[in-house]
Chains A and B, each alone.
Chain A
């Protein structure tokens, strides 16, 4: 059972425009959400996170939105830059206990010049 889903395997965006990556989850116990970026042959790099008590968190060009009623989160990148081309994973966790991260399948973002 896929508890965290990224339904778009790939996304292509023009440089300077907004990139929006989406993620859905099914487990209402999740209370912490994270986005990671991954380049080939490297480990995932932490980008931004959000607690379930918030609905928005912003860090520079990156903003994460959380809609708990819809069990949906999204990552906005504005403006998109060529270096943003990578695979993006959303992950969910429960703060108490083992804090294991449950990852989505990833979305490959390509920024076109």
Chain B
């Protein structure tokens, strides 16, 4: 079975630009969560979507937004990029409705803002 997939793998953007990151969950998983990991720290929660509805939001500015599609894939959008947005962005899937509380992570998208 395919795991969580994310695209692109790497991305370089300029301050002020906009970026869209994409994630496909494990087949059968209906929940997708997004995390930001900066060097030397653990991942920080950004959003969780379950059955296409936002279930939770972390302490991130409104420049960050996300959505989940009918096939349970998801996009994370970041507007007006700042240098501090440079990080590894991780997507994780789970299926809490089926008792799968553990979240399984994709390889991440490395975003560099210059």
A contact residues vs B (CB 8 Å cutoff): 4, 32, 34, 36, 41-46, 49, 89, 91, 93, 95, 97-106
Q: Enumerate chain A residues within 8 angstroms of B103, measured Cβ to Cβ.
A: 34, 46, 99, 101
Specify the main secondary structure of chain B where it touches its partner.
Answer: strand
Stretch at the interface among B14-22, B35-43, B67-75, B76-84: B35-43
Q: Enumerate chain A residues within 8 angstroms of B35, measured Cβ to Cβ.
A: 101
Number of residues from B at the complex interface, CB < 8 A: 26
- Closest chain B residue, CB of each to CB of A91: B42
B contact residues vs A (CB 8 Å cutoff): 4, 31, 33, 35, 40-45, 48, 55-56, 58, 90, 92, 94, 96, 101-108
Q: Contacts A49-B102, A97-B55 known; A44 to B43 CB distance under 8 Å? A: yes
Contacting pair B40 A43 (CB below 8 A): no
Contacting pair A105 B102 (CB below 8 A): no
Contacting pair A49 B101 (CB below 8 A): yes
